[in-house]
Structure 1
Amino acid sequence: DWLMRSLFAYDLVGFQSEADVAHFSRYVGTETGADILGEHEFRAFGKTLQVQAFPIGIDVDEFIGLGEAPEAQEMHTQMRDEYSRRRLLLGVERLDYSKGLPQRLNAFRQLLQAYPENLGSATLIQIAAPSRESVDAYAALRQELESLCGAINGNFGELDWMPVRYIHRNVARKRLPGLYRAASVALVTPLRDGMNLVAKEFVAAQDPADPGVLVLSRFAGAAEQMRDALLVNPYDTTRTAETIQRALQMPLEERQRRHQALLAGIREQDVHWWRKRFLAALAAVPAP
Structure 2
Amino acid sequence: MNATPRDDELTRAPMQGAALVTGGSAGIGYAIAHMLAADGWAVTVCGRDADKLASAVRELGPRAHAVAANLARSGAAESVLAEHLDRHGQLDLLVNNVGSGGLASIETKKDKALDLELNLNFRVAFQLLRASIPSLRESAATRGKSNVVNVSSLVARQTPPNVSVYAATKAALVALSNSAHGELSRDGIHVTALLPGFVDTPGASWASAAQDTMITADDVAESVRFLLRTSPRCFVPELMLTTSGPTVLHSPVDWETPDH
Question: Shared fold by TM > 0.5?
Answer: no
Q: So what's the TM-score if we normalise by structure 1? A: 0.36
Q: Which structure has the bigger radius of gyration?
A: 1
Compare relative contact order (CA 8 Å, sep 6+) and give the higher one, 1 or 2: 1
| TM-score where L is the length of structure 2 | 0.39
